Structure 1
Amino acid sequence: MMEQGRREGGVTEPRAVVRKFLARPQQEGVGSVARRSIGRFELRYFDPFLILDEFSVTAPGGFPDHPHRGFETVTYMLQGSMTHEDFNGHKGTIGPGDVQWMTAGRGIVHSEMPSGQGTQRGLQLWVNLSSKHKMIEPRYQEIPSREVAEASRDGVKVRAIAGEALGAKSPVYTRTPTMYLDFTLDPGAYLEQPIPATWNAFVYVLEGEGVFGNAKSSAHYLLLLGEGDGLVAWNKSSRPVRFILVGGEVIGEPVSQLGPFVMNTEEEIDEAIYEYENRINGFEKAMPWR
């Protein structure tokens, strides 16, 4: 096969698609719609990933005050802008192509609301933290679109949100080792992207139609990748195809989750609820803030 002969990315065992399903719209937050792929009944958890949402929201809808503990949220804007504010006084607006990598750690209470007219679209990924990192202090890594590492070659364009591809390397530090790559393939373009063999990985298609390993797929489909050392993909259509490739090191610990709290045991979840309700152990500033 021609694609086999063109391999230049060091992928010797291409990953096959072992599961594929459509991310269907559902209501989230207040007046917003999310196409949830990871984190719904078909796929509760894909270690280390807890949730992947492709969200659409129009004011006055949004995601008002809510808490988090035990993981990280990665917000990547595709269209429009969202304003974030938390109980520590951190506030900012992210627009098209911007990234916010938030480590909730021991506790954050924040809001995420649309800041422009029309529909705001983006992706939000929840990345689990290992037990040794769940109670660290919250922090942010915010990368404006102009500073996101990019590269292009032979009809393939990549934006490196985390990790590295085609020589473009993200400055983001990931406590749970993670790759998050936004690819666009022109018609006829071919891609090889290495993925550490021990990591879990998936593709989520944003626009167009492409071939990923052994499967063809179009927009809003999640493709879980099996074993191997990389992804091979090509665009055999007449229009560009855009997708994200996300991979992460398997944590391999028990997961206990109740909404925005993700810990290792039910007892730790009970503690998180108690501490949030009583505004202690990381949630002290939630009492006066709104």
Structure 2
Amino acid sequence: MNTSALAPGRTVARVGTKSALGPTATSDDSAMLFAPQDPRLTDPFLLAGEERFSAPGFEWHPHRGMETVTTVLNGVLEHGDGNGNAGLLQAGDVQWMTAGRGIVHRELAYRDEHAHIVQLWLNLPSDRKLTESRYQDLTVSARPRVVRPGAVLDVVSGTVEGVTGPALNHVEVQAVTVTLEPTATLTYTLPAAHRALVLVVSGRATVAGRALAAGQTAWSDPLADPAGDSVLLLGAPDGDDTTQLMIYSATPLGEPVAFGGPFVMNHHDEIEQAYTDFRTGGFGEVPRLARIAYDR
């Protein structure tokens, strides 16, 4: 029996469009896909940004109390952190970093050439805000896929149609990258208790009947009855180009959120403590890792 046929269908509660910020001190071109204006509407997701950068990129900076999930869309991302992790990520690869109690890291364009990324900030629950930091490289070549007529689902996290992605979670996240051929449709199953975001990375799409263009994000809130599964109907219009979507979903935490630059805690006194800890060496020394070598 196809249980998805019995699951309740989802609707789109709201649609957001990315805000172009232009060049910055660190980025050639920056955009905010969604901002932390009201965390209750995006919980447990905090914000998402899109960056195109060459030099200088994002040199050493700290984080605490959250996770960053970075997808490389184009180019090569060079990374390093205070735990000794360093390496290169290419198009399609995902970097899942748990800041937890505190981490210092950097994100640069390899050879100072070009990197194009989308970075999502995921909140941590209060009892895991100060968990040990952790780093995961989820390369596209090592991730499992679900193939359906006209659709490919690249599973990053959680279990989709019996296929489990490689991400280790503190917050149970279901995450996929979906590629749709023109005119293809897809019934996507996810827990009814989840809040879902669907970002149109390229092309055009319909999400629960709502038409979206590249750079727009559709939000679907948890259902009134959170038990069991639900389904989200996706589609791509006719044309010559494929559509690429990023779909992330998780159960809202329902906790207070305090922002303080690169730190996300529950209360402002915890933000002040984070800055104190960082200034007094509580995150460790700023690393002296050299740039990854290459032949000119």
Provide TM-score, normalisation by structure 1.
0.89
Q: Within 1, Cα distance between the matches of 2:222 and 2:37?
A: 23
In structure 2, relative to structure 1, the CA distance for the partners of 1:29 and 1:93 (3 Å cut) is: farther
Deviation for aligned residue 1:125? 1.0
What CA distance in whole angstroms lies between the structure 2 residues aligned with 1:214 and 1:116?
Answer: 43
Amino acid at match of 2:267: T
Q: 1 CA distance for matches of 2:89 and 2:180?
A: 25
Show the counterpart of 2:58: 63
- Find the aligned partners of 2:6 and 2:189 in 1 and give their Cα distance: 6
Name the residue aligned to 2:50.
54
Partner of 1:234: 235
* In structure 2, distance between residues paired with 1:100 and 1:213: 29
Shift of 1:22: 1.1
Q: Residues of 1 paired with 2:194 and 2:43: CA distance?
A: 9
Contact 2:82 / 2:284 at 8 angstroms: preserved in 1?
no
Aligned twin of 1:17 = 12
Matched to 2:258, the amino acid is S
1:164-211 deviation per Cα after TM superposition (whole angstroms, max 9, x unaligned): 334432021111111111001112211111121111111100111111
CA distance 1:175–1:113, shift in 2 (3 Å)? same
In the alignment, is the contact (CA less than 8 A) between 2:201 and 2:214 conserved in 1? Answer: yes
Q: Is the 8 A contact 2:152 2:179 kept in 1?
A: yes
Aligned residue among 77, 100, 107 for 2:72: 77
Deviation at 1:155?
0.7
Aligned residue among 144, 151, 157 for 1:149 = 144
Q: CA RMSD in A?
A: 2.1
8 Å contact kept, 2:200–2:244: yes
Deviation at 1:139, TM superposition (A): 1.0
- Deviation for aligned residue 1:102: 0.7
Change (3 A) 1:262 1:117: closer
Aligned residue in 1 for 2:245: 243
1: CA distance between counterparts of 2:25 and 2:161? Answer: 37
Structure 2 counterpart of 1:112, one-letter code: E
Q: How far apart are residue 16 of structure 1 and its match?
A: 1.3
1: CA distance, partners of 2:25 / 2:12: 31
Deviation (angstroms), 1:15:
1.5
Alignment partners' CA distance in 2, 1:29 and 1:108: 22
Q: Deviations over 1:142-169 (max 9, x none)?
A: 1222101112111111111112334432
| 2:249 alignment partner AA | G
Give the letter aligned to residue 51 of structure 2: F
Displacement of 1:227 in angstroms is: 4.1
Q: Partners in 2 of 1:201 and 1:28 — Cα distance? A: 30
Partner of 1:4: none
How many matched pairs?
Answer: 280
Task: Say if 1:153 and 1:166, in contact at 8 Å, map to a contact too.
Answer: no
The structure 1 residue matched to 2:181, chosen from 164, 183, 186, is: 186
- Is the Cα contact below 8 Å between 2:39 and 2:257 reproduced in 1? no
Task: Classify the secondary structure of the residue corresponding to 1:193.
Answer: strand
CA contact (8 A) 2:155 2:164 kept: yes
| Amino acid aligned to 2:29 | V
Tell me the CA shift for residue 8 of structure 1. Answer: 6.9
- Tell me the secondary structure at the aligned position of residue 61 of structure 2: strand
Q: Describe how 1:158-177 pairs up with structure 2 within 5 A.
A: 158-177=153-172
Q: TM-score, normalised by structure 2?
A: 0.88
SS at match of 1:171: coil
Residue aligning to 2:294: none
CA-to-aligned-CA distance 1:200-241 (integer Å, 9 cap, x gap): 111100111111103001100011113442211112322321
**Percent of aligned positions that are identical:** 31
User: Could you tell me whether the CA contact under 8 Å between 1:70 and 1:134 is conserved in 2?
Assistant: yes
Q: Distance in 2 between matches of 1:152 and 1:116?
A: 35
- Counterpart selection for 1:96 from 88, 91, 95: 91
Unaligned runs of 5+ in 1: 1-6
- 2:40–2:254 contact (8 Å) kept in structure 1: no
The SS at the match of 1:275 is helix
* Paired amino acid for 2:232: L
Quick one: distance in 2 between partners of 1:180 and 1:36?
A: 20
**Is the aligned partner of 1:87 residue 2:89?**
no
Structure 1 residues 65 and 139: CA distance shift in structure 2, 3 A: same
Q: Which residue of 1 aligns with 2:267?
A: 265
Matched residue, 2:30: 34
2:75–2:91: 8 Å Cα contact kept in structure 1? yes
